[in-house]
């Protein structure tokens, strides 16, 4: 199944339904359900900002649906969706629009760049 590695706490914020757009520097034609892998190394500043001290890292932690990709043309457009992606334009100008996040039992896994295949469910 397609899998996307996402740094903590952003993987957790997606699973909580608070982060509805995942930012990337690259586009994708993929649409559909994918697994969420919490990257091995968290974003320490974001962990503090969102009030987390410890979250699972190095595991597949959930799944969601990618339903659309929004291309931000400028910082102003990007800032209008700040409450949906919860971060800065430096993370990317492509917004992967997500729905139906679901937590699953943690599965240990090494991450990878871009979408990658995980076939051990």
- Domain range list for the chain: 2-112
Place of tokens 């871009």: 114
Provide the 10 A C-beta neighbour count for residue 10: 26
Rounded-to-integer distance, Cα 40 and Cα 23, Å: 18
Rounded-to-integer distance, Cα 101 and Cα 40, Å: 20
Going by C-beta distance under 8 Å and a sequence separation of 6 or more, which residues neighbour residue 94? 23, 24, 25, 26, 27, 28, 69, 70, 71, 72
Coil/strand/helix, residue 2? strand
Would you give per-residue pLDDT tens digits along the chain (121 residues)? 999 999 999 999 999 999 999 999 999 999 999 999 999 999 999 999 999 999 999 999 999 999 999 999 998 999 999 999 998 777 889 999 999 999 999 999 999 999 999 988 6
Q: Which superfamily, per CATH, for 2-112?
A: Hypothetical protein. (2.30.130.30)
Token pair recorded at residue 35: 């697994």
* Amino acid 89: pLDDT: 74
From 33, 66, 56, 67, select the one nearest 106 (Cα to Cα).
56
* Amino acid 120: pLDDT: 80
């Amino acid at each position: 199944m397609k899998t996307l590695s996402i740094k903590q706490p952003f993987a957790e914020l997606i699973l909580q339904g608070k982060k509805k757009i995942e930012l990337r520097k690259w586009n994708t034609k993929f649409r559909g359900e994918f697994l969420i892998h919490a990257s091995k190394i968290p974003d320490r500043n974001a962990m503090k900002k969102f009030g987390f001290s410890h979250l699972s890292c190095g595991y597949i932690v959930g799944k969601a649906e990618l339903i659309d990709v929004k291309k931000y043309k400028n910082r102003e457009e990007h800032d209008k969706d700040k409450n949906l992606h919860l971060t800065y334009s430096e993370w990317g100008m492509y917004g992967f629009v997500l729905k139906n996040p679901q937590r699953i039992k943690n599965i240990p896994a090494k991450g990878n760049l871009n979408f990658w295949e995980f076939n051990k469910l």
